[in-house]
Amino acid sequence: MNMNFMIYGANGYTGELIAREAARRGLTPVLAGRNREQIESLAKELNLESRIFGLNDATQVVENIKGSQVVLHCAGPFSATSKPMMEACIKAGSHYLDITGEIDVFELAQSLNTQASDAGIVICPGVGFDVIPTDCVAAALKEALPDATHLALGFDSQTGFSPGTAKTSTEGLAQGGKVRQNGKIFTVALAHKVRRIDFGDGQKSAMVIPWGDVSTAFHTTGIPNIEVYVPASSGMIFGAKLTNCARPLLKISAVQNLLKSLIGKSVTGPDEELRAKLPTFVWGEARNARGQVKTARIQTVNAYSLTITGALAVIEYLLHNQPQGGAYTPAKLIGAELVTRLPGSGPLTIS
C-alpha cells in the first residue's frame, strides 16, 4: 500500500510543528512549499525528502504531488491557496487535508464533492483545532438530540495567534460575522449577538464569531441554525462593534496588505512552554422545536498542540483506511470520538 504523504507549507509556524512531530513518530512525509531555503533546511534537519513548487502552475502542482496518498495543506491564506491544491489533488488522486478555519474553503470543499467522489479521494479541510473539537461536539449533540433545530458551539482558548492565523483573522474582519439560518449562511454584524456561557471554566460573556463550524457543523449534522461563540470582554465586544463601521476600509487590498505586513513583522506564535500551560474548553448546545436542550463540554490541549495531533490522526486514518471518495468534515470522516482520542483530551460529556 502507498504510505506516502506530503506536508505543503511545512515552513510555516503550524506546518513546521506538524513536520517535527511526524518525524519524531518515525513518519517520513515529503516536505514541500515555495521557500526553497526554509523547506530544504528543515528537510535536511529532519532527514526527509523536500520538493519546491508554488501553486500558480496547475500542471506542476499535479506532477509534484502525484504519488502522495495524502496531502496536508498548511500554506495559507487558504482563501487563495486551497482551490488550486484541491483541484490538483483531484487530478493526482491524492486525499486533500488542510488546517483552515475559513467558511468559504469549507463550502468550496463541499462544492467539489462529486468530483472528489469520482476521483475516489477524500477532501477534508479543517483537520486542526479548526474544526475537530467543535465538529465532534456537534456530531455528539446531534446523536443526543436527533431532532435539534438550533446548534450553538464555542470555545474558550487563550493560546494566541500564529502569523498565518492572525492574517486570516484580518481577512475575516472585512467579511463581517457569519451565522447559519434555516440552512443558509448569512452575513451579520460582528458581535451582533452576546450571551453568557459556561464553556467549562465558569460563566463568561461571549459573542458570536464567523467560525468554520457555521459551514461544517451543518454538513456534519444537518441542523439548519448554527452560531459559534468565544468569550469576550466588554472592551472586545465594543471593539468588534466599532470594527463594523470600518469594514469598507478593511476590504481595500492596500489596507489588508499593510495589516498583514505588520503581522508578519510582529507575530511569532506561542512557544512550546506557553502552549503547554493553556488548555482549551469546548462547549456546545443543541435545542429542538419543543424547547429541549442538550449541552456538551470537553477540555482539550491548546489549539496548536491539538492541530498537530489532530492533523496527524486524520493522516494516519487515511493511510490505513479507504473511505468512499467525497467531501467530508472531520467528525463525518472518523466520528465524534475523534477528539477524545487525541492526547490531552478529557471526556466529552453531555447533559
Domains annotated on the chain, with CATH: 5-128+305-335 (3.40.50.720), 132-302 (3.30.360.10)
- pLDDT bin (cut points 50, 70, 90) of residue 235 is confident
Q: Are 117 and 324 in contact (CB under 8 A)?
A: yes
Length of the chain: 351
C-alpha cell at 78: 487558504
pLDDT of residue 166: 40
C-alpha cell at 122: 477524500
Mean pLDDT of the chain: 88
Residue 261 has pLDDT above 80, yes or no: no
Q: Are 129 and 211 in contact (CB under 8 A)?
A: no
- pLDDT bin (cut points 50, 70, 90) of residue 305 is very high
In a 3-state reduction of DSSP, which class is residue 208? strand
Q: Nearest-CA neighbor of 243 among 167, 191, 184?
A: 191
Q: What backbone phi and psi angles, to 5 degrees, belong to 249?
A: -65, -40
Of the two residues 272 and 192, the one the predictor is more confident about is: 192
Q: Which residues contact 138 (CB under 8 A, 6 or more apart)?
A: 151, 153, 213, 216, 217, 220, 221, 223, 284, 331
pTM of the complete model: 0.88
Report how far residue 223's alpha carbon sits from residue 153's, in angstroms, rounded to the nearest whole number: 12
C-alpha cell at 191: 458581535
Residue 168 has pLDDT above 80, yes or no: no
Measure the N-to-C terminal CA separation of the chain; round to a whole number of Å: 43
Q: Nearest-CA neighbor of 212 among 121, 304, 133, 116?
A: 133
C-alpha cell at 127: 483537520
Q: Are 142 and 220 in contact (CB under 8 A)?
A: yes
Burial of 338 (0-12, 13-18, 19+ CB in 10 A): buried
